[in-house]
A and B are shown apart, each in its own frame.
Chain A
Amino acid sequence: MPIIEIKNLSFSYEKEPVLEDINLTVEERDFLAIIGPNGGGKSTLLKLILGINTLKQGTIRVLGTKPKESLRNIGYVPQNTNVNTDFPIKVIEVVMMGHVDGKRPLFGYGKDEIACAMGALAQVGMADFAQTKIGSLSGGQRQRVMIARALCAHPQILILDEPTSSIDITGQREIYELLKVLNADMTIIVVSHDISVILEYANKVAHINKTLSYHDISDRQSTFHTHGSDGHFCEIELLEMLGAEHCDTCAKENQHWRVEP
């Protein structure tokens, strides 16, 4: 069973369509990068998968059920985690918010919940900061805390919206290395602008600009990886790669059209 299956999805907030005829299948342990221009519909697609936006046309199946019913299996790291930094809240309390509604003590937090949150913090290497006020952390550290919050519910899918947009280069690498480790146990979907970095870690790429073009790059990484001193894809390689792939699909589609009467 695919982890996420999207079929013939179209979506518009008002009249202007934001997404058109999107088809996408995410398999178990995929590391999918969703790229595309601002306003191209990346975040809208995420919100549809998370059930924040209501589906109007097409189907989305997450682990075989409707998005809202599978929420407990999705860990979500929202886009801007630098808001509300004055808020008086400890790291551990932020992580604890990740717990799904279940058995709760009448007052405060349960022992098992605290243990679970500490485990999630240890996973992202932030256990020492449990009692620290969230506002005194750096952007990268805060992002790790948000990942820990998402891990708290033991999700099968981890979805991150622009996880490195406000973090320096070293911090970005550390976040992606962490995701790589997590990828051994769960499916990861990342929306990102940092195309060159993310393609090192992703095995699939979806480019969204109203429509979606999909590329499996797992076999291409080795081919291109030799170029460049730091292991990045340069933009030209990238465009070449995606361009070629895109034309392949076009060609296939055209063939498909001819076969149909």
Chain B
Amino acid sequence: MIEALQFDFIQHALLAGILVSFAAGIIGSLIVVNRMVFLAGGIAHTSYGGIGLALFLGLPIFFGASLFAVGAALLIAALTLKKRHRIDTFIGLIWAVGMAVGVIFVDLTPGYHVDLMSYLFGSILAVSTQDLYFMAGLLAVILTIVTLKYRDILAVSYDSEYAALRGVNVPLFYTLILILSALTVVISIKVVGLILVIAMLTIPVYIAEKLSHSLFTMMFLSGAIATLFTLIGLWFSYTYNLTSGASIIIISAISLGLFLILYKK
């Protein structure tokens, strides 16, 4: 294992794992307390449309995925703020349509088809330096926003009606949380893939929620737990030659099971 650390791609994989896990822990906390898990799932799958588009036009994958994910986030935000009771239908709709669009674009792309499974289940061993910059940049943005705007985000998440009465711009922060979720989903695609991303956004958060007395602790504890799971998962996948994304999720799920058995309250 130690000798593996001298390879660039292993270093990149570890760094990407840490950056993405931390972002996923923080944003996952916001997604869980705001009950947006299904929304995040919809955004993740819709971004597949963007991956297809990027392949078709020869654009960077992150660019295409971000475009579709943020577009889906804005659409969901607009719909939620208007017709709350119908939102599940719309999410299901963009979920499927996004994936269909992706598949069609890939069909239309001439020549050799890249391994699509890598986007669905992650390809952490193929992280480029550019990817790392994007991940680090996003984590920096997330950290800045959640520290400086912690009170507003807390107020909107805990009791949005009351927050509105106290002069907090609820639609703005709601949309902001969705956009940050969308971008976090995009950077997670490399690590665990867009199908498994939901587990990464929820399992560490679920454990952290039980152990935290405030949203702030919950966010950073989730980040730490997610990082731990990712590193163990990567070691597991390296040792037994298994898919990294799936290994991370399985390690997370087993840990959650142990936690639920051991933690009684």
Q: Are B215 and A97 in contact (CB under 8 A)?
A: no
Q: Are B167 and A78 in contact (CB under 8 A)?
A: no
Segment of A84-92, A117-125, A201-209, A217-225 in the binding face: A84-92
- List 17 A–B pairs whose Cβ atoms lie within 8 Å, in order of A's numbering: A51-B165, A71-B165, A71-B167, A76-B162, A87-B157, A88-B33, A88-B213, A89-B154, A89-B158, A90-B213, A90-B214, A93-B214, A96-B151, A97-B154, A98-B166, A101-B167, A109-B151
Q: Taking CB as reference atom, which chain B residue is nearest A75?
A: B165
What residues of B have a CB within 8 angstroms of the CB of A86 in the complex?
A: 209
What residues of A have a CB within 8 angstroms of the CB of B212 in the complex?
A: 88
Q: Taking CB as reference atom, which chain B residue is nearest A97?
A: B155
> For window 31-61 of chain A, which residues contact chain B by CB distance below 8 Å?
50-52
Q: Does any Cβ of B come within 8 Å of A104's Cβ?
A: yes
Q: Taking CB as reference atom, which chain B residue is nearest A132?
A: B213
Q: Taking CB as reference atom, which chain A residue is nearest B219?
A: A88
Residue-wise interface mask of B (13-35) relative to A, using a CB-CB cutoff of 8 A (1 in contact, 0 not): 00000000000000000000100
Interchain nearest-CB distance for A144 vs B (Å): 16
- What DSSP secondary structure best describes chain A's contact surface? loop
Q: Does any Cβ of B come within 8 Å of A193's Cβ?
A: no
Residue-wise interface mask of B (202-220) relative to A, using a CB-CB cutoff of 8 A (1 in contact, 0 not): 0000000100111101100
What residues of B have a CB within 8 angstroms of the CB of A133 in the complex?
A: 213
CA distance A96 to B154 in the complex (A): 11
| 6 nearest A-B pairs in the assembled complex, by CB-CB distance | A88-B212, A101-B167, A88-B218, A97-B155, A133-B213, A87-B158
What residues of A have a CB within 8 angstroms of the CB of B150 in the complex?
A: 107-108
Q: Does any Cβ of B come within 8 Å of A115's Cβ?
A: no
Q: Are A88 and B214 in contact (CB under 8 A)?
A: yes
Q: Are A104 and B151 in contact (CB under 8 A)?
A: yes
Q: Are A78 and B161 in contact (CB under 8 A)?
A: yes
What residues of A have a CB within 8 angstroms of the CB of B253 in the complex?
A: none
CA distance A25 to B226 in the complex (A): 57
Tell me the number of A-to-B contacts counted with CB atoms below 8 Å: 66
Residue-wise interface mask of B (129-166) relative to A, using a CB-CB cutoff of 8 A (1 in contact, 0 not): 00000000000000000011011001101110111111
Residue among A71, A88, A93, A131 with most chain B CB within 10 A: A88
Interchain nearest-CB distance for A72 vs B (Å): 8
Q: Taking CB as reference atom, which chain A residue is nearest B265?
A: A136
> CB < 8 Å: which of A76, A88, A99, A108 contacts B215?
A88
Interface size on B, residues (CB 8 A): 25
Which residues of B pack against A, CB within 8 Å?
A: 33, 147-148, 150-151, 154-155, 157-159, 161-168, 209, 212-215, 217-218
CA distance A153 to B41 in the complex (A): 39
Q: Taking CB as reference atom, which chain A residue is nearest B215?
A: A88
Apart from A88-B212, A97-B166: 7 A-B pairs, beta carbons within 8 A: A52-B164, A87-B158, A87-B215, A88-B215, A89-B215, A101-B168, A153-B166
CA distance A78 to B154 in the complex (A): 17
Q: Does any Cβ of B come within 8 Å of A181's Cβ?
A: no
Q: Does any Cβ of B come within 8 Å of A22's Cβ?
A: no
Q: Are A76 and B209 in contact (CB under 8 A)?
A: no
What residues of A have a CB within 8 angstroms of the CB of B213 in the complex?
A: 88-90, 131, 133
What residues of B have a CB within 8 angstroms of the CB of A149 in the complex?
A: 162
Q: Are A106 and B148 in contact (CB under 8 A)?
A: yes
Q: Does any Cβ of B come within 8 Å of A100's Cβ?
A: yes
Q: Does any Cβ of B come within 8 Å of A238's Cβ?
A: no
What residues of B have a CB within 8 angstroms of the CB of A106 in the complex?
A: 148
Q: Are A52 and B165 in contact (CB under 8 A)?
A: yes
> CB < 8 Å: which of B148, B151, B165, B168 contacts A76?
B165
Interchain nearest-CB distance for A63 vs B (Å): 16
